Structure 1
């Protein structure tokens, strides 16, 4: 069964997800290159990556986003209307502090930007859970993945290219301008189902008792409740298992290209343009074809098998086959598989998120996936350093195969969800 998503939803969700990755990709991709070009040492650059932890721990305040919102402006929409301008403000604030002379104050601005973008992501995910029907979520998450890739291309690639022409302030103003665009879309959007009790806005199908239980510390108890449900725990284990193998690919690819003697510009084109375009194609293949033809479990199996094959292709360059033709083929396979995989994952994550705590439920799943990725990335890099790329790749392959076996033995209920009206 298929469903057609309105143009309004496509532009809204695509724009909001893109704006998140504009900022994040700038911090993690463009800014390290800018700082290095201005003479900053590696220790001064390393602290930038600590901002990624903010996105991993956003679960700590997700229940607050679920618990409080505006009846007049829409529960999650009201958060976005506040956070999007704050993201723009923090970018403009960063433009005041030149690099590398004012790294301390720049760090404050970027830390605030990371908190705002992570919180905006909670609200946007929850809004997507509420606004997309089950049949719309496949294509909807293709749009989410595509928005992320486009944001990465612009924030990590085009802004970096503009730096030579516009300088620091000009580049930051350009980034702020592009982050402003989604404001026009969210200002026109009307969030559905907005009754309110005690200042908390939630869909009308929930009782006042259910609403009361989402406020305060009870919101955190709901996160624990979500994690301890048997079918949810099985799904979380699946996310963690696949995250280990996927993060290995992301970790090993760039240093391998450096070792092959590729220039930074060549690597940038491959990983910030060719790769993301392949990822977009993979995302829409999953959203418009795979998820419409197969059940969630079958879709995960197909994506998992493709991803294992894509990881295996890394053995070619690791084994010395380093021609550009082979490496570009590997990059295309990896990004295409990644685009498919995360689109299916995001869709199941939405399916399993209850409307009454959409932001918390989705963020619980995302945080498990993200934190595992950060940890396994460090482990895989250490393995590659001590034993070589091939050993690390075989470890990733083993984890990928175990993930597929885990999916096979689990029931279909682990990848679907019955909406709970009253907990």
Structure 2
């Protein structure tokens, strides 16, 4: 009797296969992208904030943030492994999602006892490995989406995926900072790991991915097949890059920052701590910035469909530099030039007016960043050759991650050498270079009506 009751109870709580229904598929990809965003927000926002609060210098924090983007810059190389090394029994994509999300939890727990103030190299190495698994997870999720989403679901699904990433960033960044005063920073590693583990149990674990199409018999080992896939990727992408003038110019566009970046990377986290913001206020600032960027990202894409990609993108790129230049002027005006450690004895009290300006300009920047991001991604879709869309678009996105990596690194060093006003000015000026490339791209087709 007890055994039968237990079996009935287990059946009653059996988790659904979300891929089996339209609503389930939409919910599944929202939650899977949520797990991408949570650790990204945690490391880039919450961890960076605590690093500065505990006395690490801007150059070290900038190098740490820059290293986080390296796996995302080369994630195209993970695709052939996901495609070739898979099993229909476990689900070709589901297997990789389960494995990578499990390892994301393991690496976060491994980083928890490591002090980034005394062993930054080890902490960075562990988080770098974590990001390798996270980038591979992204490749597997996108591959699963391509295979299971129907044509009439893809638009809404992509919006939900992007929204899930934003929500995850807010939870891992601002949410953790708001939670830190209550449970302590070390305990937030458990919170982030638990969130990823919960989604893993609810979404990919009960998922039933249908077998993929039969594979062609491979000559030699699977590793050799991976090598062939990598070679094919490079060849196809290379041909697509030179297939049109717009596609070729887009390479250089992807390697340049689209506007100012300083008010969204490690420099902003450093400055927030130096200006006396506690974790709660930094968390609220992050939530406000995320909400604004997410909403205006949708508006930016809508405007670009009606007014033209290049025209709107140029306007929004210039828009991101305005708060950047204004912050440089304000820092110079109030004499807050060089970084000041929050642990320094007798450090000056930040002027209230400067703190208010920082809030206003950071939120203003978030508006233009959202507008720009909504158009910036679309312009790469416009120039991508449909026959090799997956490889070419992935390559453009990888180059964009290279920009985040080198920008965060050079800004951390520049702040220590020249101070905040000069670094902010250079960031804004360098961000305007991409505007001058847009006229050389020519018409972009459907995405550039004017």
TM-score between the two structures when normalised by the length of structure 1: 0.75
What secondary structure sits across from 1:216 in the alignment? Answer: helix
Alignment match, 1:148: 165
How far does the alpha carbon of each residue in 1:168-213 deviate from its partner, in whole angstroms, 9 at most, with x for none? 552111111111233212334444671232689xxxxxxx9xxx99
* Structure 1: runs of 5 or more not aligned: 201-207, 416-423
Measured in 2, the distance between the counterparts of 1:47 and 1:378 equals: 5
What secondary structure sits across from 2:93 in the alignment? Answer: helix
* Structure 2: runs of 5 or more not aligned: 1-20, 334-353
Residue 28 of structure 1 is aligned with which of 44, 52, 71? 44
Measured in 1, the distance between the counterparts of 2:173 and 2:248 equals: 30
Alignment match, 1:160: 177
Deviation at 1:117, TM superposition (A): 0.8
Q: CA, structure 1 residues 336+84, in 2 after alignment: closer, same or farther (shift >3 Å)?
A: same
1:250 aligns with 2:261: yes
Superposition pairs of residues 80-99 of structure 1, within 5 angstroms = 80-97=97-114
Measured in 2, the distance between the counterparts of 1:263 and 1:405 equals: 43
Superposition pairs of residues 30-69 of structure 1, within 5 angstroms = 30-38=46-54, 48-49=64-65, 50-69=67-86
Residue 215 of structure 2 is aligned with which of 191, 197, 204? 197
Q: CA, structure 1 residues 281+346, in 2 after alignment: closer, same or farther (shift >3 Å)?
A: farther
Tell me, yes or no, if the aligned pair for 1:21 and 1:155 is still in contact at 8 Å: yes
Tell me, yes or no, if the aligned pair for 1:270 and 1:331 is still in contact at 8 Å: no
Q: CA, structure 1 residues 82+56, in 2 after alignment: closer, same or farther (shift >3 Å)?
A: same
Q: CA, structure 1 residues 157+239, in 2 after alignment: closer, same or farther (shift >3 Å)?
A: farther
What secondary structure sits across from 1:61 in the alignment? Answer: helix
Alignment match, 1:218: 228
1:344 aligns with 2:378: yes
1:263 aligns with 2:276: yes
Alignment match, 2:431: 396
What secondary structure sits across from 1:249 in the alignment? Answer: coil
Measured in 2, the distance between the counterparts of 1:328 and 1:279 equals: 11
How far does the alpha carbon of each residue in 1:76-100 deviate from its partner, in whole angstroms, 9 at most, with x for none? 2221122111211222233344665
How far does the alpha carbon of each residue in 1:220-259 deviate from its partner, in whole angstroms, 9 at most, with x for none? 122222232234784363264156233x522256747939
1:276 aligns with 2:294: no
TM-score between the two structures when normalised by the length of structure 2: 0.71
User: Who wins on radius of gyration, i.e. which is larger?
Assistant: 2
Tell me, yes or no, if the aligned pair for 2:48 and 2:61 is still in contact at 8 Å: yes
